[in-house]
Structure 1
Amino acid sequence: MSQTALIYPSNTAPFEIGTRPIPSPEDDQLLVKVMSAALNPCDSLAQQGLIPFLKVFPAVLGIDVAGIVEKTGSKVSGFSAGDKVFFQGYMFDSNQTGYQQYTVVPSDIVSHIPSNLSFDQAASVPLAFVTAFVGLFHSTGMRIAPPFSGPTVTAEDSTILIIGGSSVVGFFAIQLARMAGFKRILTTVAPKHNDTVKVVGATHVFDRAAADLEDQIGAVTGGDLVYVYDAISSQDTQNLGWRLLSDTKPGILAVVHDAAQTEASPKKPQESKWLYIYGSGHWYRDLSIPAWKAIGKWLEEGVLVPPKTTVIGGLAAVPEGIQRLKEGKISGEKLIVHPWE
């Protein structure tokens, strides 16, 4: 049987609406009818040919997915046909992506959608949540103990800077830092987003365009900052984060795009790290499996909240939406498409 999908025919080629076979779930997978899929900047990078690992074409993109379980593999437990679920797709296997009507997902990295969330809200969560979670808690990131049983950061002067708190990754990083127990959560945003980031846990909010931004942040941290999560990761923001790290204590700058460190970057203590974070629940299952077991409860209880969403149409709306992301016209929200429209 075939389904409608948004096909990416070859590297840098325009998207096309087409058909492809409906995948069959393996023993440990779910077959899911995709009700909502969210757009991400990585879709734009892929379409520009800037994701070197994407080599199998024609491909289907879309890695934020919510839908209804259609069928379960023979070894799956805990899920049944009809369940509402959400999960992170896998860009390197077109049977596991969201810009199509049906997809498959390993059953250990998927969660039931809590009753207080819509499909659209659930689809806004996976990639940004996982990227924030990996950056803060995984061994490839800041190595903070994850808050599965409550706060793990106990120091009264614990401080973290999240650059770009109104981005969806930054939005989740603020919430997870609060859950982990950070007492001071600093963030940079456009002033229109001040209230949004304060509600979810930011304690100090700075205008990202302020001429004296570095001085303002330095006045709060006193030069002792050891944790910076850069959810924007332009060359300018990465360099800002690195400069703001302590000159005397080992610190960590986590970035979500290729690291921009150069020989001209200021010297920091030898143990300081400038780390590129790859937010894949498929790659880092040691952390993502327990995270997917916990996230449904966190969302249901309101400990974690999803970002604003805007539905832009069906699969045919994806290219225009990706262009808006590429041009920096989307801030503080997730664009959603419905593959059945």
Structure 2
Amino acid sequence: MKAVLMTAAGSPEVLQVQEVPNPAVPVGNTELLVRLVAAGINPIDTKLRSRGTFYPDRTPTILGCDGAGVVEAAGAGVQRFRPGDEVYFCYGGLGAHQGNYAEYSVVDERFVARKPASISFTEAAAAPLVLITAWEALYERGRLLPGERVFIHAGAGGVGHVAIQLAKLKGATVATTVSSEEKANFVKELGADHVIFYKQTDFVQAVLDWTGGEGVDLAFDTVGGETFHKTFPAVRVYGDIVTILEPDANTVWKTARLRNLRIGLELMLTPALLGLEDILQHHAEILEQCATWIDEGKLKIHVSHEFPLKEAAKAHQLIESGSVTGKIVLLISDK
């Protein structure tokens, strides 16, 4: 099969299309052989490519956590799927297991969800990692409740644009930051109630003005760095802030401590890295629920750019530019 191999850590040029052996057809177990139609690209892919995977002794490797495709074969123990079923999932791509920049992948059925019937494989491949990340950050780390006020950084981004929608589905009121009028219109279409142009406006003051000086119940940081601790004053006393980035060593915690903020750290890759199969199964359950909402028209995934498999390096260059709205996807094969 054709696959994009990461031959070493480095620039996007280390991603090279090569012929590699097809994965073994699963026999006598709960695995699925999936013919991939599309693979999502996420910032974690570019970080692993530039710094090296979590398993450097297994290079060359195939990156890509997100995949969508058609079940080609199923092990004897598979109960939920059969050949021909359309699926999507977030599995592999960290170095230990093959990722999805390839024509085929093998995934345990417990970690797979049925693809939403109403959307393309391209949109489905863009969805898993960002859906799970936003779900866990808002619903599990942040314990979001109906009627609460939420502040989401970078609402037009991959995680941000689904976080807005998941917050609205919970019954929350949402403020978010953007950098342009085009992105402002985009997030308003997703349901954002208050839009802040962070390049022209002090986002903390804007949030305080929006909340009558109280601050939001929950802030969701998708940017990291100084943005994380600068957000502390925008959160109400005894409120929550969740970040998907590792707090910087220079983080100033004084305001968070004074306001008794509850700090949430969200890394949806934890179960894959630690081998927590029950949580990986929970991730599939999240995707099943999100598929229902997508098919009901309550949730949508925005794909801004599509690249053929052979142009994975160009896709990485674009995502590293930092100006992408929504998601980028690799097109692998026709349905």
For normalisation by structure 1, the TM-score amounts to: 0.86
Query: What is the CA distance between 1:123 and its match in structure 2?
Result: 0.9
Cα separation, 2, equivalents of 1:70 and 1:17: 22
Determine which of 288, 302, 306 is the counterpart of 1:307. 302
Task: Tell me the alpha carbon deviations over residues 220-261 of structure 1, each in whole angstroms, 9 at most, x when there is no partner.
Answer: 12223231111222x132123223122xx2222211221126
Pairing 1:288–2:283 present: yes
Task: Tell me the alpha carbon deviations over residues 48-79 of structure 1, each in whole angstroms, 9 at most, x when there is no partner.
Answer: 11654655211100112111110112221221
Pairing 1:229–2:220 present: yes
Cα separation, 2, equivalents of 1:325 and 1:136: 24
Cα separation, 1, equivalents of 2:289 and 2:57: 33
Higher mean C-alpha displacement, 293-302 vs 106-115: 106-115
- Matched with 1:77 is 79
Pairing 1:12–2:10 present: yes
Contact 2:215-2:233 at 8 Å conserved across structures: no
- Matched with 2:229 is 239
Query: What is the CA distance between 1:211 and its match in structure 2?
Result: 3.3
Contact 2:61-2:98 at 8 Å conserved across structures: no
Cα separation, 2, equivalents of 1:55 and 1:163: 36
Determine which of 154, 157, 176 is the counterpart of 2:146. 154
- Matched with 1:339 is 332
More helix by share: 2
Secondary structure of 1:239's match?
Answer: helix
Cα separation, 2, equivalents of 1:239 and 1:277: 16
Task: Tell me: CA distance 1:50–1:192, structure 2 relative to 1, closer, same or farther (3 Å).
Answer: farther
Task: Tell me the alpha carbon deviations over residues 168-195 of structure 1, each in whole angstroms, 9 at most, x when there is no partner.
Answer: 100111111111121x211111221122
Query: What is the CA distance between 1:92 and its match in structure 2?
Result: 3.0
- Matched with 2:111 is 109
Contact 2:32-2:71 at 8 Å conserved across structures: yes
- Matched with 2:143 is 143
Moved over 6 A (4+): none
Task: Tell me: CA distance 1:243–1:260, structure 2 relative to 1, closer, same or farther (3 Å).
Answer: farther
Given residue 136 of structure 1, which amino acid in structure 2 is its aligned partner?
A: L
Task: Tell me: CA distance 1:160–1:318, structure 2 relative to 1, closer, same or farther (3 Å).
Answer: same
Pairing 1:298–2:289 present: no
Given residue 305 of structure 2, which amino acid in structure 1 is its aligned partner?
A: T
Within-5 A mapping of 1:53-92: 55-92=57-94
Task: Tell me: CA distance 1:309–1:86, structure 2 relative to 1, closer, same or farther (3 Å).
Answer: farther
Given residue 136 of structure 2, which amino acid in structure 1 is its aligned partner?
A: V
Determine which of 176, 186, 203 is the counterpart of 1:187. 176
Cα separation, 2, equivalents of 1:201 and 1:211: 21
| RMSD across aligned positions (CA) | 2.3
Determine which of 210, 232, 257 is the counterpart of 2:245. 257
Q: Identity, % of aligned pairs?
A: 24
Query: What is the CA distance between 1:89 and its match in structure 2?
Result: 2.5
Task: Tell me the alpha carbon deviations over residues 64-115 of structure 1, each in whole angstroms, 9 at most, x when there is no partner.
Answer: 2111110112221221111111111222356442101100122123222233
- Matched with 2:318 is 324
Task: Tell me: CA distance 1:241–1:212, structure 2 relative to 1, closer, same or farther (3 Å).
Answer: closer
Given residue 227 of structure 1, which amino acid in structure 2 is its aligned partner?
A: L
Task: Tell me: CA distance 1:294–1:30, structure 2 relative to 1, closer, same or farther (3 Å).
Answer: same
Task: Tell me: CA distance 1:263–1:28, structure 2 relative to 1, closer, same or farther (3 Å).
Answer: same
Task: Tell me: CA distance 1:243–1:50, structure 2 relative to 1, closer, same or farther (3 Å).
Answer: farther
Contact 1:23-1:95 at 8 Å conserved across structures: no
- Matched with 1:210 is 200
Determine which of 251, 256, 268 is the counterpart of 1:279. 268
Which segments of 5 or more consecutive residues in structure 2 lack a partner in the other structure?
Answer: none
Within-5 A mapping of 1:110-125: 110-125=112-127
Task: Tell me: CA distance 1:111–1:91, structure 2 relative to 1, closer, same or farther (3 Å).
Answer: same
Task: Tell me: CA distance 1:110–1:339, structure 2 relative to 1, closer, same or farther (3 Å).
Answer: same
Given residue 9 of structure 1, which amino acid in structure 2 is its aligned partner?
A: T
Contact 1:239-1:261 at 8 Å conserved across structures: no
Q: How many residues align?
A: 321
Determine which of 21, 46, 49 is the counterpart of 1:47. 49
Cα separation, 2, equivalents of 1:198 and 1:261: 35
Given residue 332 of structure 1, which amino acid in structure 2 is its aligned partner?
A: T
Which segments of 5 or more consecutive residues in structure 1 lack a partner in the other structure?
Answer: 145-152
Contact 1:68-1:85 at 8 Å conserved across structures: yes
